Every structure is written in structure tokens, then in C-alpha cells.
Amino acid sequence: MKYCPSLFLAASFCTFVAGCGSSMSPAPQSVTQQNNQPSKPPVVISTTQQSSANHRVFVAFSHAMDASTINSENLSINGVSSTVSYDAKNKIAYMSPSTQLSNGTVYTAKVSNAVRDTKGMNLAANYNFAIFTAPVVDTTAPTIIGFDTGCVATGGPVHVTFSEAMDSSTITASSFFVLGTTGSVSYDPITHIASYTPSSPLTAGATYFVSVNASVTDLAGNHLSLGNGSGQEFQWQITVCNTPPPGNFCSYTKGGYAGPGAPGQLLDNNYTSVFSSGLTIGINDDSGPQHHDIWTADSTGLLSLKTFLTSPAGGASGALTADATNPVATGSGNLPEQVAALTINVGLSGVSGDPAGFGNLVLHDTGGSLDGSTVAEILAAVNSALAGNGLPSGYTFDTLNDLITNLNESWDNCQQSTWGAAHLSVAVD
């Protein structure tokens, strides 16, 4: 059914889901802005995991990268020749195999620490990950599963959510735009949300049409299914707010997601679409030295994950010691449970009415080495620690657990915590 909850950050957000989604209604609260000046090495924040043999393989970075280092020497799939391209706007590299990958096969991929950002800082270490191809190639057209409607802020952004990982190079101001305006477009590979920001403020009280056309494709090159679109475009109408909407975000605790209430329903209704490759903590390098837990993108995985989130945590917080599929408990303390909850919070940001952008909030003034990092970058750092690659400088597993717990509680039930007000801000480039 079509679900349109009440006004949050910049707009109400219509999503096609089964059942009911979040019904939280946050009170207006202040969100400060923070300059996000990277002063630490770039990190890999997201990659292809479960894939189709005819998909391009993506690697998303935390920083703008030096394009001359994003090449086939530094990004590779073991045993497969590939050409490499880089979408500088969205900080996403793509590996396009010269010959199609095999169905139902596991491949290992590597990002060399020779890649560097535009400030000259190299990746701290090689990043190795696994790619699992599906039994059949992908010939299914992607769809739009959510879009902003109703009251939108004069400065935007306007959001649209796709059903799967998309080719960001096809999502531009020519393929996604507000009619009668000019603007810029960005794409989040974690949430599959594209955002349009107008170059000049929209007129308060006015209505506009938003359009996404069929030139947008997924990673297999399948063009967007237009659904209820007009001609070669999917269109809908927005109205611009007469007064600025409140700046709000939403996060939920691990207990909230495991329970029967609104957060649990939000996870139930969106788990398999948002985490279509499964939900992973740690780093999945198949049988390599790094460790991970993964929950499959089905009802078994969801049930196991919800049990895991509130199971008694065995032992002190620490790195994972083995690979596991659909675990219902952990022997590595509270940290894996908190990391699973943070993965959900980042993934569900912008889904079913909750405001987009939680993963882009910037940490500051904690006195730790992760200050200046976005929530998504912190999640990448803690996953590396869980995988067995060492802790961020100055942190122990216990203090890292405290940080992740605070992040999960920073906008609990869409209400900003005292810690969140003091230490999380919207990034300003």
C-alpha cells in the first residue's frame, strides 16, 4: 500500500510497503552544522556484496578521491580483468569485468592502499572483500519505492529511493530534477536514495513537479521501470513549505528494533528491500582472515537478527572470532549487537517517513580520533575492528561500544538526546 506519514525533516516521504511503518512524530529540535574537513585517511564505506554476474562492482569511499589512483592496478577482482571508472560527485568507483562473471560464484576483490584522496592521504591498509553472484543474471528493471511529497523545504533536498543498488553515473540533474529549476544531484549507495538540491531556493507555497526518467539504470544496465510515470518519466508533485520544517533525524535502539512496536514494524516491513544483500557486520571476505556475521535477506535472517539484538551478550566486547550466518547470539560482548543496530539505523534512514541523512551526521567534540567522521565512516571503522583489523586510534572495544551505543540513542524515537545535541551535527562541505 502507499504509506505517507507525518511531516519530518524536509518533507513527508511516500513509500510503498506492506503493513505499517514508523509512526513517530518528532518535536522540532535544533541541529547544528559542522564543517567536515577530512584530516584522516579515507575509508571504504560500502561495496558490492551479493550481486548478479552481469553487475558492475562498486566501491564507495568516505572522501573525494584522486581519480588518477582509481584504476585497474589498485582496484581488482581476483582472476578477472576489469576496467575501472570513478564517479567523483558521489565518490564511487566501479569495476566493470571484461567478461561476465560466472553465476553462483564467490569472487574476492581488493582495494589497494595505493588509492588516495584529493588531499594526498592514502587508504590506511588494503581493503579485501568478497562478491557473491546470484544463480541467474539480473534482467529485472529497478523501480522507485519511495519519494518526497507534500511540504518540502525551499532549499530542498528532494529525495527518491530506488529498489536496488543503482549506477550513480546515470543519476544526474538531467535524469532526476524539479521542473523549472536547476540543481545538483547526489546518490547514497548505502540507502539507494538520490537527492536533488536546487541551485536557487524554491518559492515558498508553490507547487512543483519532480521527474525521474528512464535513462537511470541499475548496475546491470537495466533501465528504470516507470510504473505510474507519464511517458518516459516518473513524475510526482511537491509543495514548498511556507515556513521551514524542523531539522530532525530518527534512530532506534536494538531493543526497539527487536520489539513489536513501531521500530520493530519499521524493520519488519523494510528489511528485505533495504538489506537485499543481507545485513553484515565485520567484513565478509569469504574464507579470508577477516571475520563477519551475516543475516540473510529473508524471514529466517530477520528473525535471527531480532533475536540476536537482545540476546545476552557473552564475554567482553571484542572482535569477532569466526564467521557466522544468521547467528542468534554473540560471544563478543555488546559491541556486535550495537553495531548491528547502527547498521539498521543508517540503512533505514530515509525509509517509510523517517528523515534521510542520519549516516551523514558528523561526530565532534568527544576528544577521540573519530571526531570529524560521519556516522557512516564510524560504522566502517568499527566493522573493520570487528573483522579483526585493529581499533581506531585511542579506542578500546569498551569505549567503541559506548560510542556506538550513544549514536544509536542520539535520536531515539526521533527525539534528540543531550549527547546527540552536543556531539552530532549536519556536515557543511
Both 238 and 275 in one domain: the answer is: no
Using a pLDDT cut of 90, give the percent of the chain over it: 80
Mean pLDDT lowest for which of 39-43, 368-372, 386-390, 416-420? 39-43
Rounded to an integer, what distance in angstroms lies between the CA atom of residue 81 and that of residue 73? Answer: 10
For residue 167, what is the DSSP state? -
Both 271 and 226 in one domain: the answer is: no
Task: State how far the Cα of 11 lies from the Cα of 400, in Å rounded to an integer.
Answer: 34
Q: Would you say 128 and 76 are in contact if contact means Cβ atoms under 8 Å apart? A: no
Strands 279-282 and 292-295: antiparallel
pLDDT at 355: 81
Question: Nearest 5°: phi and psi at 110?
Answer: -140, 135
CA distance 122 to 102: 32
> How far apart are the C-alpha atoms of 155 and 201, rounded to whole Å?
5
Choose one of 246, 262, 284: the last residue of a domain: 246
11 alpha carbon, distance to own chain's centre: 20
pLDDT of residue 261: 96
Cβ atoms of 145 and 162 within 8 Å: the answer is yes
Q: What are phi and psi of 337, to 5 degrees?
A: -65, -45
- End-to-end, the C-alpha distance of the chain in Å comes to 38
The answer on pLDDT for 15 being more than 90 is no
In a domain, 1, yes or no: no
In a 3-state reduction of DSSP, which class is residue 256?
A: helix
In the structure grid, which three cell numbers stand for residue 180, read together?
Answer: 523549472
pLDDT at 233: 86
Q: Which residues lie across from 3 on neighbouring strands?
A: 15
Q: How far apart are CA 15 and CA 21, in angstroms?
A: 9
Provide mean pLDDT across the span 301-329. 96
Higher-pLDDT residue of 386, 277: 386
Q: Which three cell numbers stand for residue 239?
A: 509543495
> What dihedral angle (degrees, nearest 10) is formed by the CA atoms of 14, 340, 346, 369?
170
* Tens-place pLDDT, residues 393-409: 999 999 999 999 999 99
pLDDT tens-digit readout, 252-286: 999 999 999 999 999 999 999 899 899 999 999 99
Cα–Cα distance for residue pair 63/215, rounded to 1 Å: 27
* 199 in the same domain as 271: no
Residue 65 near residue 91, CB atoms below 8 Å: yes
Model confidence at 373: pLDDT above 70: yes
Which pTM was predicted? 0.85
Looking at the structure, tell me whether residues 201 and 303 fall in a common domain. Answer: no
Count each helix (H run) and each strand (E run) in the chain, helices first. Answer: 7, 23
Q: Which residue has the cell 553462483?
A: 104
Among 227, 246, 265, identify where a domain stops. Answer: 246
| Model confidence band, residue 166 (pLDDT cutoffs 50, 70, 90) | very high
115-142 average pLDDT score: 96
* Residue, of 245 and 119, whose pLDDT is higher: 119
* Dihedral class, residue 167 (left if φ above 0, else alpha if ψ from -120 to 50, else beta): beta
Domain contains 8: no
Listed range (140-144, 160-164, 213-217, 223-227) with the worst mean pLDDT: 223-227
Counted domains in the chain:
2
The reply to whether 268 and 123 lie within a common domain is no
Q: Give the integer Cα–Cα distance in Å for 319 and 336.
A: 8
**Which three three-digit cell numbers place residue 6?**
507525518
- Rounded to whole angstroms, the Cα distance separating 15 from 18 reads 10
What does the pLDDT read at residue 161? 92
Q: Name residue 186's beta-bridge partners.
A: 195
pLDDT at 85: 97
Looking at the fold, whether 289 and 351 belong to one and the same domain comes out as yes
Based on the domain organization, do 204 and 347 belong to the same domain? Answer: no
pLDDT of residue 19 exceeding 60, the answer is no
Report which of residues 1 and 219 the model is more confident about: 219
Q: Which of 18-27, 39-48, 63-72, 275-284 has the lowest mean pLDDT?
A: 18-27
Does some domain include residue 37?
yes
- Rounded to whole angstroms, the Cα distance separating 409 from 422 reads 13
Q: Could you identify the residue written with the cell 547526489?
A: 186
Where does the pLDDT of residue 246 fall: very low under 50, low under 70, confident under 90, or very high at 90 and above?
low
38 within a domain of the structure (yes/no): yes
Q: Which domain holds residue 333?
A: 254-428
Say if 26 falls within a structural domain: no
Total Cβ atoms within 10 A of residue 253 = 19
- One domain for residues 287 and 328: yes
CB count in 10 Å sphere of residue 209? 14
Is the separation of the CB atoms in 106 and 131 below 8 Å? yes
Q: What distances in angstroms separate CA 419 from CA 16, 361, 414, 415, one per listed residue?
A: 34, 13, 14, 12
Does 2 fall in a domain?
no
Q: What is the mean pLDDT of the chain?
A: 89
The predicted structure's pLDDT at residue 17: 37
* Same domain assignment for residues 92 and 171: yes
> What count of other Cβ atoms lies within 10 Å of the Cβ of residue 367?
6
Q: How far apart are alpha carbons 311 and 166 in whole angstroms?
A: 35
Q: What is the mean pLDDT of residues 2-10?
A: 27
How confident is residue 352, by pLDDT bands cut at 50, 70 and 90?
Answer: confident
Of 246, 269, 304, the residue at which a domain comes to its end is: 246
Domain identity same for 291 and 339: yes
231 pLDDT exceeds 80? no
Query: Which of 198-202, 242-246, 252-256, 420-424 has the least mean pLDDT?
Result: 242-246
Residues 228 and 138 grouped into a single domain: yes
In a domain, 20, yes or no: no
Domain membership flag for residue 18: no
Same domain, 222 and 310: no
| Partners of 86 in beta bridges | 93
Q: What is the CATH number of the domain that holds 227?
A: 2.60.40.3710
Predicted local confidence at residue 4, as pLDDT: 30
